[in-house]
């Protein structure tokens, strides 16, 4: 059953923390998962959260810290001394431990590493600290199970038992040579089914997908998604096995990418959190809104050109300006969003499917434009009883607007992608504003042409 956080529960736990009621704290939290406990602790103030976390066993406390967002965890650990942090770092997976330490001041970081009891863990941390967080090296953990290719299956089983004590989940077994070079992988199933006395070189799979330490995190996520991997080995330039990236870390990367894309689509220019200051949140949303506002003012200036000509001669033209603008914006965003999805599928692009997909998008736009134009013509002419010429202007304009907006929404993400810009930013105010000019130009251009014939 999913945990439900209530105000009463938080108040009870806060009171227990204030009164140093260890029994109540442990009883209330004993049945909760680490992810649920992290949610509860965020509702407490710093000293209260510090007390509650220290009342849990160290392993559970480490799991809770691993569930925290970086900013929240940095704020919480301000109330812990280096010795307390070292106890958690001692048992965290090496990649989680490095993430935690990178959030701390250099002095605290060095003190914690010096106090870590497991010196192999300390060595793992020192190995991982130099890597940038958005690379394969920054995502990998050192804990894994490796087997020498010259070992027998029986020796392999004993080695797995020994090494697996330090590995939370054994996804696969990596096969190496005497120089630690990655040769392949062997599944647990193949080890179990292998004949007695068989050697690893007889059963392992040489077709192994791996990442290099400098590969971007986005490429790692794409590899694991495309080949449906639970874990991905990481090697250096000599192809020596250094670590592995597990699926839970890639899920975090994918989630972060999705959040960045949503922010770009909605016109947010920098990463913000719900509890950030009003000024920071406002500042993150102003740039694209400013571009949209400038575009709208320019569009209004453009409409003024026709104020003393077409609009005075045919005032009813003004009634259909909103539908021209909104239709163009909606079609542009639809095409742009679909194009962004295609561009994110690197396998589809490398497979030569980009242009056929573009043609399909434009074909759909032609059909949409025709259906919309016919529908609006019938409504305008038959139901609203507007003159035939006005109905023709509106319907023909909508067909042109749909085609041009679809073209703009399709081509803009491609151009941005070619110039190394995130194509997600092609959506929102940018596409809408660009299509306003296109839509109004087509609308009044066709009106001017038909009414002056």
Domain boundary among 223, 255, 287: 255
206 Cβ contact partners less than 8 Å away, ≥ 6 residues apart: 183, 184
- pLDDT grade, residue 275 (50/70/90)? low
Specify the CATH number for the domain of residue 13.
Answer: 1.25.60.10
Range of the domain at 347: 278-451
Task: Report yes or no on 32 lying in a domain.
Answer: yes
pLDDT at residue 225 in the model:
86
Task: Report yes or no on 261 lying in a domain.
Answer: no
Task: Report yes or no on 263 lying in a domain.
Answer: no
- Window from 57-71, 184-198, 413-427 with minimum mean pLDDT: 413-427
* 215 and 108 co-located in one domain: no
- pLDDT grade, residue 226 (50/70/90)? confident
Task: Report yes or no on 137 lying in a domain.
Answer: no
The tens digit of pLDDT for each residue in 348-393 reads 455 456 677 777 777 888 898 899 999 999 999 888 888 888 899 9
Domain boundary among 255, 289, 306: 255
d(CA 238, CA 26) in angstroms, rounded, equals 49
Mean of the pLDDT values across residues 401-430?
A: 76
Specify the CATH number for the domain of residue 153.
Answer: 3.10.580.10
* 249 and 331 co-located in one domain: no
Task: Report yes or no on 262 lying in a domain.
Answer: no
Q: Is the pLDDT of residue 396 over 70?
A: yes
* 20 and 167 co-located in one domain: no
- Of residues 402 and 281, more confidence is placed in 402
* 404 and 292 co-located in one domain: yes
Task: Report yes or no on 113 lying in a domain.
Answer: yes
pLDDT at residue 281 in the model:
62
pLDDT at residue 188 in the model:
84
Q: How far is CA 370 from the centre of its chain?
A: 37
- Of residues 11 and 263, more confidence is placed in 11
- Of residues 262 and 26, more confidence is placed in 26
* 210 and 100 co-located in one domain: no
pLDDT at residue 351 in the model:
47
* 22 and 73 co-located in one domain: yes
* 107 and 14 co-located in one domain: yes
- pLDDT grade, residue 169 (50/70/90)? confident
Average pLDDT taken over every residue of the chain: 83
Domain boundary among 110, 132, 154: 132
Specify the CATH number for the domain of residue 322.
Answer: 1.10.357.20
* 289 and 408 co-located in one domain: yes
pLDDT at residue 399 in the model:
92
pLDDT at residue 83 in the model:
94
The tens digit of pLDDT for each residue in 105-127 reads 999 999 999 999 999 999 999 99
- Cβ atoms 210, 234 nearer than 8 A: yes
* 26 and 95 co-located in one domain: yes
d(CA 130, CA 234) in angstroms, rounded, equals 15
Total domains in the fold of the chain: 3
pLDDT at residue 61 in the model:
93
* 102 and 206 co-located in one domain: no
Task: Report yes or no on 124 lying in a domain.
Answer: yes
* 412 and 297 co-located in one domain: yes
Q: Is the pLDDT of residue 313 over 50?
A: yes
Task: Report yes or no on 266 lying in a domain.
Answer: no
Mean of the pLDDT values across residues 136-153?
A: 91
* 210 and 289 co-located in one domain: no
């Amino acid at each position: 059953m999913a945990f439900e956080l209530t105000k009463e529960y938080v108040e009870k736990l806060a009171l227990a923390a204030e009164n140093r009621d260890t029994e109540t704290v442990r009883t209330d939290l004993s049945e909760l998962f680490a992810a649920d406990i992290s949610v509860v602790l965020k509702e407490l103030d710093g000293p209260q959260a510090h007390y509650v976390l220290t009342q849990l066993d160290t392993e559970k406390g480490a799991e809770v810290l691993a569930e925290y967002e970086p900013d929240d965890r940095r704020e919480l650990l301000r109330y812990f001394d280096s010795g307390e942090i070292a106890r958690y770092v001692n048992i965290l997976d090496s990649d989680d431990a490095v993430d935690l330490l990178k959030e701390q001041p250099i002095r605290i970081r060095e003190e914690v590493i010096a106090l870590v009891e497991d010196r192999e863990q300390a060595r793992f941390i020192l190995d991982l600290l130099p890597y940038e967080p958005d690379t394969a090296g920054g995502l990998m953990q050192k804990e894994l199970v490796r087997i020498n290719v010259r070992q027998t299956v029986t020796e392999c089983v004993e080695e797995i038992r020994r090494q697996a004590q330090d590995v939370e989940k054994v996804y696969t077994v990596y096969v190496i040579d005497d120089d630690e070079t990655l040769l392949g992988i062997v599944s647990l199933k193949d080890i179990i089914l292998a004949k007695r006395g068989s050697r690893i070189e007889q059963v392992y799979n040489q077709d192994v997908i791996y990442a290099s330490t400098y590969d971007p995190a986005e490429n790692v996520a794409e590899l694991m998604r495309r080949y449906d991997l639970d874990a991905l080995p990481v090697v250096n330039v000599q192809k020596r096995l250094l670590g592995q990236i597990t699926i839970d870390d890639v899920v975090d990367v994918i989630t972060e990418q999705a959040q960045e894309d949503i922010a770009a689509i909605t016109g947010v220019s920098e990463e913000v959190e719900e509890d950030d200051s009003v000024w920071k949140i406002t500042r993150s949303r102003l740039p694209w809104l400013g571009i949209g506002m400038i575009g709208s003012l320019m569009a209004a200036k453009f409409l003024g050109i026709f104020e003393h000509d077409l609009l005075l001669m045919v005032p009813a033209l003004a009634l259909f300006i909103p539908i021209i603008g909104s239709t163009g914006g909606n079609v542009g965003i639809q095409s742009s969003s679909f194009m962004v999805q295609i561009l994110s599928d690197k396998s589809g692009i490398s497979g030569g499917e980009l242009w056929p997909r573009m043609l399909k998008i434009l074909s759909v736009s032609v059909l949409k434009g025709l259906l919309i134009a016919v529908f609006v013509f019938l409504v305008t002419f038959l139901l609203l009883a507007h003159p035939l010429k006005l109905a023709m202007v509106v319907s023909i304009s909508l067909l042109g607007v749909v085609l041009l907006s679809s073209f703009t929404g399709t081509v803009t993400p491609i151009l941005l992608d070619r110039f190394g810009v995130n194509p997600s930013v092609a959506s929102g105010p940018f596409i809408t504003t660009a299509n306003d000019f296109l839509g109004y130009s087509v609308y009044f251009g066709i009106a001017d042409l038909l009414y002056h014939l």
